[in-house]
Amino acid sequence: MNQMTRAFLLAENGRQAGRHRHMSPIRALAVCVAALLAVPGAGCGYHVAGHSNTIPENVRTIAIPAFVNQTQTHKIEQMLTAAVTREMVTRTHYHLVHQEDGDADATLHGTVLSTYTTPLTYDSKTGRAASLLVVISVNVALLDKQGKVLYQNPSYMFRQQYEVSRDPNSFFEEDSPAFQRLSRDFAQTLVSNILEGF
C-alpha cells in the first residue's frame, strides 16, 4: 500500500469514526497532504540493496581480480569476472587491470556466495524436469586505495530460467549457457548501479 493510499484511508477512517463531528472533503484532502508530508522520504518504497558514494573523479584505473568462488559450481567465478570486465570496457572510460594492483585507484572485489538450481516445470510424459531456474548470490565491493567503500552490495541475487533438453545425456551441458546469460545480466546491473550511484 503506497503512502497516498494509506493517508487517504486514515482520513476516511477518521471521517467515519468521527460520529461527533463531520469532516469535509477539503479537510480530508488536507489530512492526506499532511500525512504525506509527515512521512519523511515517502516514495514508491523500492530501495536498492547496495550502498555507494559517487566514484571520485580521480579514479582512473580499476582492478578487477578474479571473483572468489565459495560454491561447487565450476568456473562460475570466471564467467562473472569476464562479464563484469567486458561491461566495464564497453560502458566506461576506466583503465582496467586484471589483478589486484597497488597502483590501481580502486579495486572491485566479488565473492560468489551460493548457486542452486530448481525445477520449474515438468514434462507430463516423462515426469522429468522440462525447465529449471538457476539462482546465484554474489557479494561485491568497490574500494579505493585507502580501503574506503565506493560501492557495496553484499547480496546481489540473480535468476535465470532455461529449458532442459529431452536428451538426458545433454542435461549437464545446459547449465553453462544459463550461467553465462545470468553472468551478463549480473554485469549489466552491477555496472549500472556503480555508474548511477545507487
Write out residues in the chain with pLDDT < 70, as ranges. Answer: 1-54, 166-175, 198
Q: Is residue 160 part of a domain?
A: yes
Q: Is residue 20 part of a domain?
A: yes
What gap in Å lies between CA 65 and CA 58, rounded to an integer?
20
- Total count of domains within the chain: 2
**Residue 24, pLDDT score:** 52
Query: Which residue type occupies 104?
Result: A
Q: Please check whether residue 75 is in contact with residue 67, taking contact to mean a CB–CB distance below 8 angstroms.
A: no
Q: Please check whether residue 156 is in contact with residue 193, taking contact to mean a CB–CB distance below 8 angstroms.
A: no
Residues 94 and 180 in one domain: yes
| Closest to 105 measured CA to CA, from 153, 52, 64, 138 | 64
Q: Is residue 63 part of a domain?
A: yes
Q: Which residue segment(s) compose the domain that 23 sits in? A: 3-38
What gap in Å lies between CA 137 and CA 155, rounded to an integer?
6
Residues 32 and 57 in one domain: no
N-term to C-term CA, the chain: 24
Buried b (16+ CB within 10 A) or exposed e, 25-50: eeebeebbeebeeeeeeeeeeeeeeb
**Residue 109, pLDDT score:** 96
Residues 183 and 97 in one domain: yes
Residues 9 and 73 in one domain: no
**Residue 111, pLDDT score:** 98
**Residue 54, pLDDT score:** 63
**Residue 5, pLDDT score:** 44
What gap in Å lies between CA 194 and CA 198, rounded to an integer?
7
pTM above 0.85, yes or no: no
Tell me the CA distances in angstroms from 16 to 24, 30, 32, 34, 35, one per residue in order.
Answer: 11, 16, 15, 19, 17
Q: Is residue 155 part of a domain?
A: yes
Query: Phi and psi (nearest 5°) for 57?
Result: -65, -25
Q: Is residue 44 part of a domain?
A: no
What gap in Å lies between CA 1 and CA 34, rounded to an integer?
18
